[in-house]
């Protein structure tokens, strides 16, 4: 697989930890020049140094994908210093676990997840699309969630933002096919990162290592499939189409069995 990533310029957002960091390390090991984006500069620098110490090529850029000026400045710097971007991995994300009835006065929960998971990803795609079209080559990997396929209770804010990105990706892939630009949606299951802390202790399902997740991202870059799904995620999606009412009843029982966290209930102060 390395020959297909050798000397490719790969941008990865949310690369200071978790799936983003592991994906950057894995892509660099396959010969890619990884261009890492994150808000936290000190942690970003540590990842860059780790990759370089292992013999890889990496460059870090402090960037907030929710800030248009930050994205424009970063993309301009990347294109100026590296000439082009071959692949973009939209990994930066925000998750919120809270029941709908506790969210009626918290519309900002939905705005925050959309700002990062949807509009942040779109901002990166739109910024890089012109140069990709000019070169007639580009590949975008969007990290989505298997929860979109399952419709997991208490994740309406998070999953709605990922579902929006899924549909955008489907439309964009059809429009840009003749431009040589392709898209892959990776429906990630729960991965052991700080972001899944709200799910800890609520039996939301099996968890996977960041190394496993990174392997899925590398596969998405190398093989460029339409989607990367787990068996469970694909089965849940099919289940919802065939027996939607039965699925609702079963998911309702799941919802009742695993309550909100203390923070979601307001028992612990949250921002």
pLDDT digits (tens, 9 = 90+) for 132-179: 999 999 999 999 999 999 999 999 999 999 999 999 999 999 999 999
Taking the C-alpha atoms of residue 149 and residue 187, their distance in angstroms, rounded to an integer, is 8
User: What tens digit of pLDDT does each residue of 15-28 get?
Assistant: 999 999 999 999 99
**Would you state the torsion angle of the CA atoms of residues 51, 17, 39, 206, taken in this order, to the nearest 10 degrees?**
150
Specify the pLDDT at position 263.
Answer: 79
Which tens digit of pLDDT belongs to each residue from 32-46? 999 999 999 999 999
In a domain, 240, yes or no: yes
Q: Is 151 within a domain?
A: yes
Percent of the chain residues past pLDDT 70, beyond the cut: 93
Set 158, 202, 208, 255: catalytic member: 158
What does each C-alpha distance from 147 to 144, 220, 244 come to in angstroms?
A: 9, 19, 16
Whole-angstrom distance, CA of residue 124 vs CA of residue 90: 8
271 in a structural domain: no
64 or 204, which is more confident? 64
Please determine, for residue 201, whether its predicted confidence score (pLDDT) is greater than 80: no
Closest among 82, 94, 80 to 13, alpha carbons compared: 94
To the query of whether residue 158 is one of the catalytic residues in this protein, the response is: yes
pLDDT at 3: 62
Where does the pLDDT of residue 261 fall: very low under 50, low under 70, confident under 90, or very high at 90 and above? confident
In a domain, 91, yes or no: yes
Token code pair at residue 222? 């190398």
Could you give the CA distance from residue 48 to residue 131 in angstroms, rounded to a whole number?
25
Q: What is the CATH number of the domain that holds 254?
A: 3.40.50.720
Range of the domain at 257: 2-265
Q: Does the residue 270 lie in any domain?
A: no
Q: For the chain, state the CA radius of gyration.
A: 19
- The residues, any chain, with a CB within 8 Å of residue 133's CB and separated by 6 or more, are 176, 179, 181
| pLDDT score, position 1 | 43
Task: Provide the number of structural domains found in the chain.
Answer: 1
Average model confidence (pLDDT) for the chain? 93
pLDDT, average across residues 174-194: 94
Residue 262 has pLDDT above 90, yes or no: no
What integer is the mean pLDDT of 68-91?
A: 98
């Amino acid at each position: 697989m390395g020959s297909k990533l050798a000397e490719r310029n790969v941008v990865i957002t949310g690369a200071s930890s978790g799936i983003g960091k592991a994906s950057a390390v894995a892509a660099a090991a396959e010969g890619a020049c990884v261009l890492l984006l994150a808000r936290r500069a000190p942690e970003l620098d540590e990842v860059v140094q780790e990759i370089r110490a292992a013999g890889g090529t990496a460059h870090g850029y402090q960037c907030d994908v929710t800030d248009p000026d930050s994205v424009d400045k970063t993309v301009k710097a990347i294109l100026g210093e590296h000439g082009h971007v071959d692949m973009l991995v939209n990994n930066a994300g925000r998750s919120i676990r809270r029941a709908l009835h506790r969210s009626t006065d918290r519309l900002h929960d939905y705005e925050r997840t959309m700002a990062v998971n949807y509009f942040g990803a779109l901002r990166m795609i739109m910024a890089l699309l012109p140069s990709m079209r000019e070169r007639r080559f580009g590949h975008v990997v969007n990290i989505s969630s298997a929860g979109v396929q399952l419709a997991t209770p208490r994740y309406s804010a998070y999953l709605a933002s990922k579902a929006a990105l899924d549909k955008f990706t489907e439309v964009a892939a059809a429009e840009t096919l003749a431009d040589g630009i392709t898209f892959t949606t990776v429906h990630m299951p729960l991965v052991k990162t700080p972001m899944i802390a709200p799910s800890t202790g609520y039996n939301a399902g099996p968890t996977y290592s960041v190394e496993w997740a990174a392997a899925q991202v590398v596969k998405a870059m190398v093989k460029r499939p339409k989607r990367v799904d787990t068996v469970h995620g694909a089965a849940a999606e099919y289940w919802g189409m065939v027996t939607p009412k039965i699925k609702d009843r079963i998911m309702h029982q799941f919802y009742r069995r695993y309550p909100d966290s203390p923070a979601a209930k307001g028992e612990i102060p949250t921002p």
